[in-house]
């Protein structure tokens, strides 16, 4: 699916959100304060930032301001316990993309994450069809010619990215960045293993995954 950075200083809430993100197939990293978040976004950019406003070293507003000032266009979903119109207007004016009030329902958070990622990747439809392959991004399911695919979490993440960019080359580095989080121990051939498994599961009726030597991988659109 995508790499997501959670910036939240409440350990219990952070663990719960990280577990939710990983269950949805995302590579999820966490930061407890604004400085760490800014460092991670500079060194390992994520596809989405989930940001708490009340951080110990600086406000979430300041994090948004600094990210946008440095040209960061990554979608930002703000989490806040402040049910205050002025705060919401301030965050949106600074560059936040969406707001979610605490306490929130896990399913609503998951839905907002999916929507922001679809919007950012330029593929707003939750259902993508490539030849005989159909993937439902809302329910994280895929089928080939009506045959359900039994996919592991990272297999799904790789297939989702390749399907969203069908007909285009996706670099190995980009796939690794979106499939594995910073805390994951990534073996040198880990991505190749997932690609090989996907190829077997897509055969014989599904689209082919082509290796583009020195460039990456491409899911054939035809």
Cis peptide before 204 (omega within 30 of 0): yes
How would residue 6 be classed by pLDDT, with cut points 50, 70 and 90? very high
Compute the distance between CA of residue 119 and CA of residue 109 in angstroms, rounded to an integer. Answer: 15
Contact 160, 28 (CB under 8 A): no
Compute the distance between CA of residue 27 and CA of residue 102 in angstroms, rounded to an integer. Answer: 23
DSSP assignment letter at 207: P
Domains belonging to the chain, first-starting first, are 3-121 (3.40.50.2300), 127-219 (1.10.10.10)
Q: What is the dihedral of CA 120, 20, 132, 167, to 10 degrees?
A: 30
Compute the distance between CA of residue 33 and CA of residue 122 in angstroms, rounded to an integer. Answer: 30
How would residue 122 be classed by pLDDT, with cut points 50, 70 and 90? low
pLDDT in tens, 44-73: 878 899 999 999 999 999 999 999 999 898
Residue 182 has pLDDT above 80, yes or no: no
Say what the pTM is. 0.72
- pLDDT attached to residue 75: 94
- pLDDT attached to residue 121: 63
Tokens of 194: 């997932």
């Amino acid at each position: 699916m995508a790499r997501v950075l959670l910036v939240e200083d409440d350990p219990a809430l952070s663990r719960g959100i990280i577990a939710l993100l990983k269950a949805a197939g995302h590579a999820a990293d966490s930061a407890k304060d604004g400085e760490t978040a800014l460092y991670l976004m500079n060194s390992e950019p994520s596809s989405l930032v989930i940001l708490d406003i009340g951080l110990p070293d600086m406000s979430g507003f300041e994090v948004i301001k600094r990210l946008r000032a440095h040209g960061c266009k990554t979608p930002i979903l703000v989490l806040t316990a402040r049910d205050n119109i002025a705060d919401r207007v301030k965050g949106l004016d600074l560059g936040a993309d969406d707001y979610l009030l605490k306490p929130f329902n896990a399913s609503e958070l998951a839905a907002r994450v999916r929507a922001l990622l679809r919007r950012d990747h330029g593929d707003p439809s939750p259902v993508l069809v490539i030849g005989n392959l159909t993937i439902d991004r809302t329910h994280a399911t895929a089928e080939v010619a009506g045959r359900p695919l039994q996919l592991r979490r990272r297999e799904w993440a790789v297939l989702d990215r390749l399907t969203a960019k069908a007909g285009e080359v996706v670099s190995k580095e980009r796939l690794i960045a979106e499939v594995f989080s910073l805390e994951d121990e990534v073996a040198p051939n880990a991505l190749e293993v997932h690609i090989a498994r996907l190829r077997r599961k897509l055969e014989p009726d599904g689209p082919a995954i082509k290796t583009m030597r020195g460039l990456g991988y491409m899911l054939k659109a035809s």
